[in-house]
Chains A and B, each alone.
Chain A
Amino acid sequence: MPSRLIEQARRGPGIETWKNTICGLCSAGCGIRVRLVDGLPVYVKGNPMYPINQGGLCPLGLNALHHLYHPDRLKGPMKQVGKFGSGKWESITWDEALKTVSDALVKLRNEGNPHQVAFLGHDERGLMHRHIARFMQAYGSPNYFQFSPAQDDGVAYLLMQGDPQIPAYDVLNAKLIVSFGSNFLEEGHSPIYYTKLYGHHQDSQTRYVQIESRMSLTASNADRWVTIRPGAYGALALGIAYVLLREELYDTEFVNAHTFGFEDWTDRSGTKHLGFKSFVLGNYYPERVAELTGVPSATILELARELGNTRPALVIGGQGAVNNTNGTYSLMAVQSLNALLGNFERAGGLYSIDEPPFGALPVVQRDPTGEAGNGRASVARSQDGSFPLAPFSMKTLTKNILEDQPYPVGVLFLYGGNALFETVDHIDFAKVLQKIPLVVSFDSIRTETSEYAHLILPDHTFFETWDEVSNVPSVGFTHIGIQQPVVAPLFETRHTGDVLIDLAKRIGGSVAASFAFESYQEEMKQGMNGVYESGEGAILSASIKGKWLQYLQQRGWQIGRYSSFDEFWAQLLEHGGWWNPIRKQKPWEKVFHTPSGKFEFYSQRLKSTFDALVKTTGDQQSPQDLELVLSRLNISARGDTTFLPHHEPVPFEPDLPMHLVTFQPLAIRNGNGAHLPMMQEMFGYTVGRYWDSWVEIHPKTASDYGIADGQWIWLESSVASLRVRAKITPGILLNVVAVPFGLGHSSCGRYARGHGTNPYSIMRNTYDLLSGKPALEVTKVKISVAA
C-alpha cells in the first residue's frame, strides 16, 4: 500500500464521489458503483441501473476492494531467478521486461517461426479478445487459445443448432424452469442475474425444478429437487422426451416445421435412417430410464407432464450435465427437450443474442512471414483425431507441446485464469510450463500457474483498467459494460492491451503497422464509436426500466439521441454501460446454422465430422473404418444412434463405492476469490465452516462408515487421496460425496496458501469424448475415517 495513499486517506477533507464500472472478479459482469472518499475507493455496491444485476451483487463482488488493496499484488514486472518454480523472484523495469519478450519474439520471427508463439487466454470476450487475436494474427501465429471459454460447453449447441453460443434463456417470461444440473443461482454464467429473476419470480409464481445429485443453492431454493445419479442426465432427458412423445405433449407445429431427423427418414442415397421419435420410443421407456438414472418412473411421468402442460416451460442444461465423458450427448438430449417444447425464439424460451455493433478496426497488415505463420496448423489440433469437436482442449495442447507436435513452442503467454489450478491435467501442464523456453504471465496476483512463468508483466486490477464486458453468456439481451479506472493504478502495473501494442511497436514492420491506436483505450473508443453510429440500444439510465422499455418497444431499437460521440462516451462512462433490450426478430435460417437450416435431432455436422475423421485418421494403417474411430473415441453407440442424442454409459470404476461431485460456492467461485481473506472466512457460511474445505456426506452414509460431523476423513480415488473434514447433510444422494472447489491453493497470495484442499488432486484426467471438456464428475472414491 503506497504511503502517499495512506496519507491521502488520513489527511483528506473527506469529499465523497461515486464511479460506475464492472466487477472483474468473475465472468458474470455485474455493474458496480464504487464509493470514493478523497479519490480513494472505500466501498463497492451494485449499480442499480445495470441491467444484469440491477443493484445486486454477490459476496465476492462486494469484497472486491480487498482485491484492489491486496498486499500480495505484484507491484511491477517480475523475473523468476534460480530454480524454476522455486518462487525466487526479483523485480525488473518494464523496459527490461518488454525488451526480453520482444527480443524473443523478433528472434522467432526472423527465423521464420512466428507460429511457435502461443497465447493461452482465459474468458476474455469482446474487444480484448479481438485485440489479442489481432496481435497474434499480425505477428503470424494461429495459436491463440482460451482456457475455459464458456463456449467449451457449447459443442452440443453447435451440433444441433449450428452455433456454439450458449443460448440466452428468457427466464423472465417462463412459467416453469427445469434445470439439469445447472446451479445457476450459485454458479451459472451470471448468478446474480438469475438471482434477480428468481426474486422477481417469487411474486409471479414461476415454478423451479432442479435436477441435481446434491442440494446446491439452486436446488435448495427450487420448488422441487429431483436427485439423479451422476452422468445420467441424458437418459433422464430422453425418458422425459418419451412421455412427451407418447402423450403427444410436444409442439408438433415447431417440430414439423423446424426440426430435422424427428421422424424416420431416407437420405439421397436412399438409405433409411432412424428418427429421434422412434429411437426414443423404442429405447427410453420410463422403467429403463428409472434403472439408469435412479429417478422413479412416477417422477419421470410427473416431470414430463408438468413440462408438457405448462407454457412456456424452459429447460436449462448446465455443467452438472456437461462435466462428464458423455457430456455432449447428455446436453444434446437436454436440448432436444427445448426443441420438443418448441422453445426457440419465443417468449419464455431461448434465443441467440446479437453481438454488440462494435466499430471495425483497420485490417491487419500482413507480410510473408506472418502469412506463412498463420498458415500453419495450430499446436492444439489433435494429431490422432481425439476430441474432434473441441474448440480447444487442454489435454491435446499439453500432449502436443510435450511431443513437439507438430512443432515446438518457443514462447507462451498466459492471460488470466489459473489453468494449473483447475485442469485435470495439471501434472502434464506443469511439465509443459517447464519445457517452454519463455513463459510470460500477465497475472496481477501470482497464481499456481504463474509460479511457473519466467516473466510476469502484471496487469491492473479491474478498478484501475480500461475494458469492456459485453454479452455475458446466457444473459437475455445485448449489453456492454464499461470498465474504467476508478482510481489511478496503485502500482507499476500495465494494461495487457497496451503491453501488446508496445510489443508490436518494438517488433516493428507490419506488426507495428497493424496497431493504429496508441493505447487500448483508444481502440476501445473506436469500438464504441461503432455502437454510437449504429444508433441502436440505449445508455443505461435510471428510467430505462419500466416506461423507457415501452418507448423502446414502440420505436424499435432506433434511438440515436446523442448530439456527438463525445456526449455518448461521456454518458457511457457516467452510467457504466449500454444495452439493447430489443431483439431483432430473426428468420429461422439465421437461428439454425445447420446443414438443414433446422434444429437437428440427427446431427449432420457430427456425421460429416466423423466421415472426415474416417478419411483422414492420421495413423499408419489408415483403416477406412468408422468402427475404429468410434472405438478410439470409445463411443459405444453404433449406426444412426451415434448422431442422435442418447445415453452413453460413463466409464465409472465399479469397484469404488462413492461418486465425487464438485461445486463452486459463490464466495470463491473457481478459485479466484481464494486470495481474499473475507471470502475465505465466508467460504462455508452455509455449513458453518471457515477458511476450510469440507466433504458433504449423507447422514446414512456417514453412520454406515461411522463418520461424525466435522471429523477428518480420507477420500481415496484411483489417482490419489484427499484428507478433508466431513459435513453431514441430508442434501445429497446416498452414494455421492461433494467437495467444494476453490480452496487448496499453493499460491494466489498469503490468504489463499495452505487453506483447504483442491479436489483436482484426486480427479481422473478423463474427458468428454467429443468436446474435450474435462469429465469432472467421472471420479469415484472410497471413504474412510482418518486417524
Chain B
Amino acid sequence: MARWAMVIDLDKCTGCGACMAACKMENNVAIVKPDEAQNGRAMFWMDMITTYEGEYPNLEVKRMPRPCFHCDDPPCIKVCPVRATYINEEGLVGQIYKRCIGCRYCMAACPFTVKVFNWENPQWLDEASTCFNPDVSRRMVGVVEKCSFCAHRLMKVKEDAAQEKRNILDGEYVPACMESCPADAIYFGDIEDKQSVVYKLAHSYRAYRVMADLGVEPKVYYLSKRKA
C-alpha cells in the first residue's frame, strides 16, 4: 500500500503564494467576505506562515507554506463524533462534508490549526459559477474542510494506471499546489517506496517535520538548511 507524503523545500520556496492560489482554484475553496477575512475566517487549505528571526543584519524571515500534514496518527479524526473525518489505508486524511455536523472538535484537536470552517454560506465570484472544478465537491455552510492532498487527482491517476495495467509511477500523482509551484519547491509521492524522490528527500539531512515530538507522524516534510 502506498503512503502519500509531501516534501516542501524551504530553501527553494520563495513564498510566492502560487500554491495557495492553485489550491483554492483547484478545490473550489470559497472566498469569504472582506470583513469575514479580516476576522480570521479566510479559507486557505494551503496557508502561508511567516516568521521573523533575529535582527538586521542577521534578520532571517521564514516563509512556510502549510497544507494539512495528513498525520499518520491524526488527533483530528480521533475526536470526530460521526466519522466525518477519517484516514484511509493510503494515509490520506479525508473529510466527509455531507456527514459533518460542524462541531469543530477536529479543528480544536488539530495541533497545526490547519482546518477551516464554513462560517457562512460559501460564496464565490458572483458569476464564475461555471469555472468550478467538476472533480471536487463543493462545500455547504457549517462544515469543516481542509487540504485533501488533491485526492481526486489520485483517483484519476489510479484509473489511468488500471487501464494500462501498471502501478502508479513516481511523480505521476501531482497535487495542484506542486504542479504550479514556480520554484519546484514541492515534491509529492509514495514514501513507502524507497526509490521515490520523496523518500530520498525525506531522509536527507535537511529534512524535518513540524513538531515531530508530538508523535502524530505528519506526512509533510520540510527541507531547510537553517533547521538542519
Consider the complex of A and B and state whether they touch directly, i.e. have CB atoms less than 8 Å apart.
yes
Chain A residues in contact with chain B, CB under 8 A? 1, 5-6, 8-9, 14, 37, 40-46, 53, 55-60, 62-63, 65-66, 68-71, 185-186, 191-192, 195-196, 198-200, 202, 215, 217, 220-221, 225-227, 666-667, 676-678, 680-682, 685-692, 729-731, 751, 755
Stretch at the interface among B72-80, B96-104, B129-137: B129-137
What's the least CB distance linking B45 to chain A, in Å? Answer: 13
The interface residues of chain B lying within 8 Å CB-to-CB of A689 are 38
Can you pick out 10 interface pairs between chain A and chain B where the beta carbons lie within 8 Å of each other?
A41-B131, A43-B26, A45-B180, A59-B16, A59-B21, A62-B25, A666-B17, A678-B24, A686-B15, A731-B52
Q: Which among A56, A66, A198, A691 is the interface contact of B131 at CB below 8 angstroms?
A: A66
Q: Is the CB of B61 within 8 A of A215?
A: yes
Knowing A690-B42, A691-B38, say if A199 contacts B125 (CB, 8 Å): no
Task: Please tell me if the beta carbons of B179 and A55 are within 8 angstroms of each other in the complex.
Answer: yes
Contact residues in A for B181 (Cβ distance below 8 Å):
56
Q: Which chain B residue shows the least CB distance to A63? A: B21
| Chain A positions within 8 Å of B11 at CB level | 202
Q: Which of B17, B52, B56, B176 contacts A59 (CB 8 A)?
A: B17
Query: What total count of A-B pairs have CB within 8 Å?
Result: 173
**6 more CB-based (< 8 A) A-B contacts, given A66-B128, A220-B15, A730-B59:** A6-B130, A40-B131, A56-B183, A71-B126, A682-B21, A685-B48
| Contact between chains at A65 and B182 (CB < 8 Å) | no
Minimum CB–CB distance from A4 to chain B (whole Å) comes to 11
Question: Which of A6, A217, A692 meets B38, CB within 8 Å?
Answer: A692
Residue of chain B at shortest CB distance from A64: B25
| A436 shortest CB reach to chain B, Å | 34
Decide: A69 and B57 in contact? CB cutoff 8 A.
no
Complex interface: chain B residues within 8 A of A37 (CB): 134
| Residues of chain B with a CB closer than 8 A to A730's CB | 52, 55-56, 59
Chain A neighbourhood of B179, CB < 8 A: 45-46, 55
Asked if B128 and A65 make an inter-chain contact with CB atoms under 8 angstroms apart, the answer reads yes
Contacting pair B15 A217 (CB below 8 A): yes
Tell me, rounded to whole Å, the shortest Cβ–Cβ distance linking A177 to chain B: 14
Tell me the residues in window 157-183 of chain B with beta carbons closer than 8 Å to chain A beta carbons: 176, 179-183
> Taking A221-B15, A685-B17 as contacts, is the C-beta distance between A46 and B131 under 8 angstroms?
no
Is B31 among interface residues, defined by CB-CB distance under 8 A? yes
Question: Using a CB-CB cutoff of 8 Å, which residues 20-56 of chain B contact chain A?
Answer: 20-22, 24-26, 31-32, 34, 37-38, 42, 44, 48, 50, 52, 55-56
With A42-B133, A225-B59 known as contacts, the answer to whether A199 contacts B21 (CB < 8 A) is no
Among A57, A60, A199, A687, which residue has its beta carbon within 8 angstroms of that of B184?
A199
Residue among B18, B26, B55 facing the most chain A CB atoms (10 A cut-off): B18
Interface size, chain B (Cβ < 8 Å): 48
Complex A-B, nearest 5 residue pairs according to Cβ-Cβ distance, in ascending order: A56-B182, A199-B183, A690-B37, A59-B21, A1-B127
Known: A58-B16, A685-B17. A195 touches B183 (CB 8 A): yes
CB nearest neighbor in B for A73: B127
- Contact of B185 with A by CB under 8 A: yes
B190 sits at the interface (CB 8 A)? no
Q: Is the interface of A mostly helix, strand, loop or mixed?
A: mixed
Task: Name the one of A65, A667, A731, A755 contacting B61, with C-beta atoms under 8 angstroms.
Answer: A731
Q: In the docked arrangement, what's the CA distance between A68 and B127, Å?
A: 10
Contact B18–A56 (Cβ < 8 Å):
yes
Question: Is B9 on the interface with A (CB-CB < 8 A)?
Answer: yes
Q: Which of A14, A57, A199, A667 contacts B22 (CB 8 A)?
A: A57
Q: How far is the CA of A79 from the CA of B84 in the complex (A)?
A: 54
Q: Report whether B182 and A195 are in contact in the complex, using a CB–CB cutoff of 8 Å.
A: yes
Q: A42-B132, A63-B25, A682-B21 are in contact. Are A198 and B14 (CB under 8 A)?
A: yes
Within 8 Å CB of A8, what residues of B?
A: 130
* Nearest A-chain residue to B11, judged by Cβ: A202
Residues of A within 8 A of B138 (CB): none
Q: Is B12 an interface residue (CB 8 A)?
A: yes
| B188 → chain A closest CB, angstroms | 14
CA distance A542 to B6 in the complex (A): 25
In the bound complex, residues from chain B placing their C-beta under 8 Å from that of A227 are 56
On whether the beta carbons of B183 and A198 are closer than 8 Å, the reply is: yes
Instruction: Report how far A6 CA is from B129 CA in the complex, Å.
Output: 8
Please name the residue on chain A nearest to B9 by beta carbon: A202
Residues of chain A within 8 A (CB-CB) of B15 are 217, 220-221, 686
For B38, the closest partner residue in chain A by CB is A690
In the complex, chain B residues whose CB is within 8 Å of the CB of A9: 129-130
Given contacts A677-B31, A681-B42, contact A221 B14 (CB under 8 A): yes
Say whether B52 contacts A70, CB under 8 Å: no
CA distance A198 to B14 in the complex (A): 8
- Chain B residues contacting A192 (CB-CB under 8 Å) are 182
Indicate whether B139 reaches chain A with its CB closer than 8 angstroms: no
Question: Given A62-B21, A62-B25, A185-B16, A14 and B134 touching (CB < 8 A)?
Answer: yes
A523 to B153, CA, bound (A): 41
Contact of B125 with A70 in the complex, beta carbons under 8 Å:
yes
Q: What's the nearest-Cβ distance from chain A to residue B199, in Å?
A: 18
* B209 proximal to A (CB < 8 A): no
B9 — which chain A residues lie within 8 A by C-beta? 202
| Of listed B129, B179, B182, residue having the most chain A CB within 10 A | B182
Q: How far is the CB of A341 from chain B (nearest CB, A)?
A: 24
Is the CB–CB distance between A220 and B38 below 8 Å? no
Q: Chain A residues near B16 (CB, 8 Å)?
A: 58-59, 185-186, 191, 195, 217, 666
